[in-house]
A and B are shown apart, each in its own frame.
Chain A
């Protein structure tokens, strides 16, 4: 296995900032594997335990492969008051997974998240950096079927 991508990422971050390096590795591979984390640790001198601690601390860093589309649906008060729970149930039943899981074909991951700052479009969700607001079941159906 080649670690050229990771070498490149380390070279670009001369200041050894861990969070941006992990984000870059994840952008490349979709997650930070144990092998890659060990390699990063060896090359930068940052202890593996610290790297693992940081990955698991942040909700948006992953230690395992996620779906092509990561659906983050908000359940904080503004969305909750606008019936986000029904939409979460709807997503779970249409994708046949629970929150925190990934579909077998690795297409979708579903996450219930804290406020995404879209309270003016509640209920809202973010799929791979794109915001979808004022949701209802029909809208969600259309959005999901539009993702190839």
Chain B
């Protein structure tokens, strides 16, 4: 795998002889975009944050919480050097001397190992006169803290409620100072971009799980066929649907290209490239109810559409499961999904209903079969 090539801090010696602007230019040219799911061009983000004035921070988002996603864990386990080196490179590029690695609570067993990597990196960077401190902040079990503004609130010691944007973190982030927030996979790519001219921007890490016998992280080119990926997972039974995590929605299993455009055209979102395969033995209403429970539980409670909406969505789905719902309930569910999607404050709420909207588009019969 390209992402597991250990750069061993060699990129640090290289950037020590470069101007920060040259580093940013190199990243811009590479075409790297945010691998947490939002795909924002990384070079631009670096540039925006660099152009902001004052003390700045880097935050590595290692709060990988999207169900079905475990690619960042693989990188943190197998190639932590690149993540830490990537943080230092990002800090050098934007002119920051302090970084926080926000590690989700569920991954805290990795903390000691990461601290050793940080200590080692610090020695190497100091010798090159690149001064950058990194501290690990442990999360404490909140899906919402994967949102960039919620992470900031959490590091500041508050409840992880997302902020309104603008202002964007690049202007006003941690302690209201300009802050660069990048996903683990994005950061781990930075040293490779600096070192390797043949670095390939089209590789993506797909976390494959669900009703398959060989789950795992597969590195494929963006646009690879879904069928190829599912076959790598060796399903035991016939696959009926795939879910793109909890927030990306679902599609019937057919051969499509795994890139943002193709998946979006079908009404779903590829996001962080989590693929959860569902076989014929499972009913989509049951899966929908399971996912709705997740959002109802993880809603932070700050805005009404998400706090109240996710609860009512779950109620309606349970009513359908119990065969107590009528057609009006299904209509109400659809309307509610639309309202939550359009009016929620942050990505959690906005995307919390995609799995229902897409399920109703492609598997409507499984819902209507359960109506009284």
Contact = CB atoms under 8 A, between A and B. Distances in A.
Instruction: Please determine whether chains A and B interact with each other in the same assembly.
Output: yes
Interface of A: 16-23, 46, 50, 53-54, 57-61, 72, 75-78, 80-82, 113-122, 126, 129-131
A18 B155 CA distance: 8
Nearest to A129: B109
A60 B160 CA distance: 13
6 contacts: A19-B140, A58-B160, A59-B140, A77-B287, A113-B106, A119-B209
B140 A23 contact: yes
Given A117-B73, A130-B109, A81 B276 contact: yes
**Interface SS of B by simple majority:** mixed
Contact of A114 (B109, B137, B278, B297): B297
B270 interface: no
A119 to B, nearest CB: 4
A114 B298 contact: yes
Of all A-B residue pairs in the complex, the 10 with the closest CB atoms, nearest first, are A18-B157, A59-B141, A58-B140, A119-B209, A115-B67, A76-B67, A78-B209, A60-B141, A57-B159, A60-B140
Given A77-B290, A78-B67, A119-B209, A114 B143 contact: yes
B294 A76 contact: yes
A21 B137 CA distance: 11
Contacts of B221: none
A77 B210 contact: yes
A52 to B, nearest CB: 11
A18 B158 contact: yes
Interface string B202-221: 00000101110001110000
Given A117-B69, A130-B109, A58 B276 contact: no
Given A16-B157, A130-B109, A81 B278 contact: yes
Nearest to A85: B290
B155 A17 contact: yes
A88 B129 CA distance: 53
Contact of B276 (A46, A60, A119): A119
A123 to B, nearest CB: 11
